[in-house]
């Protein structure tokens, strides 16, 4: 058993930059590299790609990431843990093997699957097994209605896209014990990607909830990669960050007692200090006394942070209690088509003309659309009308945005068409029209009993 391991985090979301992960793999002296690439909706979008082509459905950047990282991982003996499998970890693992063969590299890859659930009699899951999560403003009845106006949730529903449980450490632990060098998963709770190697290397018991809570705190601090090293933090006036363009992603030296020192590769841009660590500790936390993961219910209220050197923060404390009895499940469904159109007005009376355009569009469309949103970008598009003050100086330019929900692509397209028609049917001087139509995937969260979900691993060798 080791007393200390180094885990780097080279990606905090599906579209994250690739370069910082390469720097970590090349110069970070890592034992483990984690790439966290799944947001709430990512897996539903991935499932749509899988439905179109059964060999796809893993992260769209998987090839580029693995092709550039693999030589460094092998040379420096770093194990990779990633949820880039998204909706199809098995095909993702096969793709990694294909890349390894091309590079004449011998490697063992494990795919962790079992997160994907289906509501049907074969899998033994019925709508009654799902329980609404937390205090969210929907009920299971509403979920049924959202999925289909009259029918219950079924596996052949045209509207249901995906149903994935957030797995914990189980599958990853088994893969680590099987000596896999690369572990690619589907939906796994983000902190579990970090907690699994700690348990594996330190020999922590999986019911030692105090240590699991501490490890989860470290995983939570790390999971958004650049968000603890100056990304999503910088403010040139109050929180300056140097060398932003070369922002380094973090690594953690984790110790067997559940403490850690978070730092980054020397010479990279960004900053790690008390401020960045505090912002990330509280990020997306809905109850710091009880932070639910599939592995533990962690307590953040006893965490201590200390700056011990430049770009080094020590994390101690944190605790945990018995893991929850249910898994959280994300349900992805086709919600609606969103139509959008934008047009700019500038110069004297920019706002007045934009407002006339917005009012005109609203009158033209309101009989056809239940929910229309009119924004004046530069004035009230993020905070609403509260921001708009009559006493403000003349506004140099305003961009009008119109968005609405529709049932079909054709109906959604009407929004942009009406905005474009403002050229010859609206106020003077409008320009720069852009039109968008997007299918919107909605996500709702439910709970399902643990015994309905079975994590499993598949091993592949090059």
Partner 1 sequence: MNKEDMNPPLGVKGMKLYDIAHSRAGDKGNISTLSLIPFNETDYKMLCEKVTIEKVKHHFSGIISGEIIRYEMPNISSLLFVCQDALAGGVTTSLRIDTHGKALSYKLLEMEI
Which residue's CB is nearer to partner 1, number 202 or number 327?
A: 327
Radius of gyration of the chain (CA): 24
Which residue's CB is nearer to partner 1, number 6 or number 249?
A: 249
Which residue's CB is nearer to partner 1, number 183 or number 412?
A: 412
C-beta of 185: minimal distance to partner 1 in Å? 21
C-beta of 282: minimal distance to partner 1 in Å? 4
- With b for 16 or more beta-carbon neighbours within 10 A and e for fewer, the 93-113 pattern comes to bbbbbebbeeeebebbbbbbb
Checking phi first, is residue 284 left (phi over 0); if not, alpha (psi -120 to 50) or beta?
left
C-beta of 133: minimal distance to partner 1 in Å? 8
Which residue's CB is nearer to partner 1, number 142 or number 410?
A: 142
User: With contact defined as beta carbons under 8 Å apart, do 357 and 401 qualify?
Assistant: no
C-beta of 233: minimal distance to partner 1 in Å? 8
Angle among Cα 283, 270, 63 to the nearest 5 degrees reads: 80
Which residue's CB is nearer to partner 1, number 52 or number 237?
A: 237
| Interface ranges with partner 1 (CB under 8 A) | 40-41, 134-137, 232-233, 235, 238-239, 275, 278-289, 300-305, 317, 335-336, 338, 371, 373, 375, 377, 381-386, 401, 403-405, 440-445
Q: How far apart are CA 361 and CA 13, in angstroms?
A: 37
C-beta of 441: minimal distance to partner 1 in Å? 7
Residue 127 Cα distances to 43, 106, 113, 147, 342, angstroms:
21, 45, 22, 12, 41
Strand partners, 162: 332
C-beta of 226: minimal distance to partner 1 in Å? 13
Q: How far apart are CA 306 and CA 290, in angstroms?
A: 23
Write out the E strands in 347-430.
372-377, 397-406
Q: How far apart are CA 26 and CA 271, in angstroms?
A: 20
> For residue 399, what are its two tokens?
């961009």
Which residue's CB is nearer to partner 1, number 193 or number 315?
A: 315
C-beta of 391: minimal distance to partner 1 in Å? 11
Q: How far apart are CA 353 and CA 178, in angstroms?
A: 66
C-beta of 306: minimal distance to partner 1 in Å? 11
Q: How far apart are CA 178 and CA 175, in angstroms?
A: 5
Which residue's CB is nearer to partner 1, number 285 or number 459?
A: 285
Which residue's CB is nearer to partner 1, number 265 or number 441?
A: 441
């Amino acid at each position: 058993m080791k007393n200390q391991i180094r885990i780097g985090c080279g990606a905090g979301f599906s579209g994250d930059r690739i370069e910082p992960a390469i720097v970590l793999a090349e110069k970070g002296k890592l034992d483990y590299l984690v790439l966290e690439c799944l947001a709430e909706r990512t897996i539903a979008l991935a499932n749509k790609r899988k439905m179109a082509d059964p060999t796809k459905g893993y992260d769209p950047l998987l090839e580029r990431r693995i092709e550039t990282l693999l030589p460094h991982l092998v040379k420096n003996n770093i194990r990779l843990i990633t949820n880039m499998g998204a909706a199809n970890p098995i095909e993702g693992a096969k793709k990694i093997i294909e890349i390894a063969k091309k590079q004449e590299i011998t490697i063992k890859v494990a795919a962790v699957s079992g997160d994907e659930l289906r509501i049907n009699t074969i899998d033994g899951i019925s709508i009654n097994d799902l329980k609404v999560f937390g205090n969210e403003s929907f009920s299971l009845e509403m979920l049924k209605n959202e999925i289909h106006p009259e029918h219950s949730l079924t596996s052949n529903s045209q509207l249901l896209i995906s149903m994935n449980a957030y797995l914990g450490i189980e599958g990853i632990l088994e893969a680590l014990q099987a000596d896999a060098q690369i572990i690619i998963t589907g939906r796994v709770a983000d902190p579990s990607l970090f907690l699994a190697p700690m348990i594996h290397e330190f020999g922590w018991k999986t019911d030692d909830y105090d240590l699991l809570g501490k490890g989860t705190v470290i995983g939570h601090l790390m999971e958004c990669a650049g968000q603890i090293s100056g990304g999503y933090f910088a403010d040139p006036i109050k929180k300056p960050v140097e060398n932003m363009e070369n922002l380094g992603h973090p690594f953690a030296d984790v110790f067997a007692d559940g403490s850690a020192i978070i730092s980054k590769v020397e010479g990279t841009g960004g900053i790690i200090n008390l401020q960045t660590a505090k912002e990330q500790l509280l990020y997306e936390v809905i109850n710091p006394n009880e932070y639910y993961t599939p592995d533990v219910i962690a307590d953040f209220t006893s965490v201590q942070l200390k700056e011990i050197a430049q770009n080094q923060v020590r994390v101690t404390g944190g605790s945990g209690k018995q893991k929850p009895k249910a898994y959280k499940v994300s349900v992805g469904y086709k919600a609606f088509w969103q139509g959008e159109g934008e047009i700019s007005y500038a110069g004297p009376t920019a706002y007045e003309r934009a407002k006339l355009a917005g009012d005109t569009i609203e009158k033209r469309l309101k009989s056809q659309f239940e929910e229309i949103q009119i924004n004046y970008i530069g004035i009230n598009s993020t905070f609403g009308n509260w921001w708009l003050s009559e006493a403000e100086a003349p506004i140099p330019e305003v961009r009008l945005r119109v968005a609405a929900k529709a049932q079909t692509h054709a109906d959604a397209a009407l929004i942009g068409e009406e905005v474009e028609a403002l050229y010859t049917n609206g106020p003077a001087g409008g320009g720069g029209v852009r039109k968008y139509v997007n299918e919107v995937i909605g996500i709702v969260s439910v709970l399902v009993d643990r015994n309905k979900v079975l994590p499993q691993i598949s091993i592949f060798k090059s």
